[in-house]
Amino acid sequence: MAAKKWDSNKEIEYFREYLRIPSVHPNPDYEPCVEFLRCQAKDLDLPIKVFYPLDKQNPVVVLTWEGIEKKWPSILLNSHMDVVPVFPENWTHPPFGADIDEEGRIFARGSQDMKCVGMQYLAAIRALKDKGSKFKRTIHISFVPDEELGGRKGMLPFVSSQDFKSLNIGFSLDEGIASPTSELPVFYAERTVKRVIFKISGSAGHGLLLMPNTAGEKLSYITSKMMEFRAEQVKRLKDNPELQIGDVTTINLTSVDGGVQSNVVPPLLTACFDIRLSLDTNVSEFEANLAKWCEEAGGDIELDFGLIRRKDHIPPTVTNDSNPFWVAFKSATEELGLSTKLQVFPGGTDSRYLRNEGIPALGFSPMNNTPVLLHDHDEFLHAETYLKGVDIYQKIIGNLANV
């Protein structure tokens, strides 16, 4: 009986329809998402624009609800259309079937990360329009591509475009994470991502020799130093129950490459580390330490930081009375009786590109009392939780748009 309860709920059906679109990596097709959003815009009687900041395969869709004060900076409600890969054999429901079980759980890739939030925005806007609400600030609802791969084909080129600048964004909401407790996390910052590749050159020759300065010896020294730093962070997190994973630096060795056969000492080995620097870590000092360890290991080691290399952290969003948007957000959650906790987001979202442009942004997904299943098998969101989130967003959006 429980599943049939939702058959006539329009917002649940819209959500499930969106979930059934397999905009999944490694080769997402966003065109069905664009067509679906065109239909949503028509239903909402809102203008829609599709931008292509990089290429035709990566559209950015923006619906707009004009405010009374058209020159005031606007509100951006952002979400991403893409979802991570699935392994169907590990799911008890088809990952793009959007099945709803007897408990009211909706199973689909993207149900938590983050098609839910994009559709909750639209559902909240629909409810506010039906009530005849009017707001001072213009509201833009954006649906972007490529977030799951770092946003380099989506939000990154979009924020530097004239199309984005014409939106006159003053504040943004983006995704958060589900919470297994009643407390909802609110993310005001992100750690700085460093994906560092050590390209280690050394003496080459026969495996029966004991040559000096081999790449293997250098790799051992570098790995030892990195793991010592990692152990310090593990201890720091363990010793202080007030800290979350986003408050410490994480270091993980993710790949090692090189060598040709077992009895040949190779001239080159490469090691890749995924590093997320906490906000209290000095970025320049950390990079200087890496260079120092390379010299101590024997030198002739190249550090590759990839395409994007930041020299400092992106400034966090201010969360005090000097930020009227924070005051409005906080006031809304308090009026709703929600328990919230400010946190640093442990991963990366498109909010970092907005903050880097000087735009305050908060990450928030109204999914409490929900297991954290983003990127996991059998990802689901309960229908009641989804609809409660729609009500929450109505209050939050209303407050923000009237700042």
Report the CATH number that the domain containing residue 386 is assigned in CATH.
3.40.630.10
Domain boundary among 245, 270, 304: 304
Compute the distance between CA of residue 201 and CA of residue 216 in angstroms, rounded to an integer.
9
Domain boundary among 276, 304, 332: 304
Compute the distance between CA of residue 15 and CA of residue 21 in angstroms, rounded to an integer.
11
Catalytic residue among 11, 113, 146, 147: 147
Same domain, 196 and 211: yes
Same domain, 174 and 293: no
What is the pLDDT confidence band of residue 1, given thresholds at 50, 70 and 90? very low
Same domain, 91 and 218: no
Same domain, 163 and 124: yes
Same domain, 275 and 214: yes
Looking at the DSSP bridge assignments, the partners of residue 200 are: 269, 301
Domain boundary among 281, 304, 327: 304
The model carries a pTM of 0.92
pLDDT 10s digits, 19-73: 999 999 999 999 999 999 999 999 999 999 999 999 999 999 999 999 999 999 9
Same domain, 50 and 78: yes
Annotated active-site residue 82? The verdict is: yes
* The pLDDT of residue 5 is above 80: no
pLDDT value for 310: 81
Compute the distance between CA of residue 187 and CA of residue 351 in angstroms, rounded to an integer.
10
Other Cβ atoms less than 10 A from the Cβ of 70: the count is 11
Compute the distance between CA of residue 175 and CA of residue 125 in angstroms, rounded to an integer.
17
pLDDT value for 309: 78
Of 127, 136, 90, nearest to 109 by C-alpha is 90
Contacts of 13 (CB under 8 A, 6+ apart): 7
Same domain, 47 and 60: yes
Q: What's the domain count of the chain? A: 2
Secondary structure letter of residue 373 according to DSSP: -
Is there a contact between 152 and 146 (Cβ–Cβ < 8 Å)?
Answer: yes
Same domain, 186 and 196: no
Supply 143's token pair: 């649906």
Q: Which amino acid is at 276?
A: R
Same domain, 325 and 278: no
Same domain, 89 and 148: yes
Catalytic residue among 82, 113, 175, 190: 82
Same domain, 317 and 384: yes
Same domain, 185 and 197: no
pLDDT 10s digits, 229-271: 999 999 999 999 999 999 999 999 999 999 999 999 999 999 9
Annotated active-site residue 147? The verdict is: yes
Domain that holds residue 74: 3-190+313-401
CA angle 32, 148, 56 (to 5 degrees): 45
Burial class (CB in 10 A: 0-12, 13-18, 19+), 177: buried
Looking at the DSSP bridge assignments, the partners of residue 186 are: 342
pLDDT over 90, % of the chain: 96
Q: What is the CATH number of the domain that holds 208?
A: 3.30.70.360
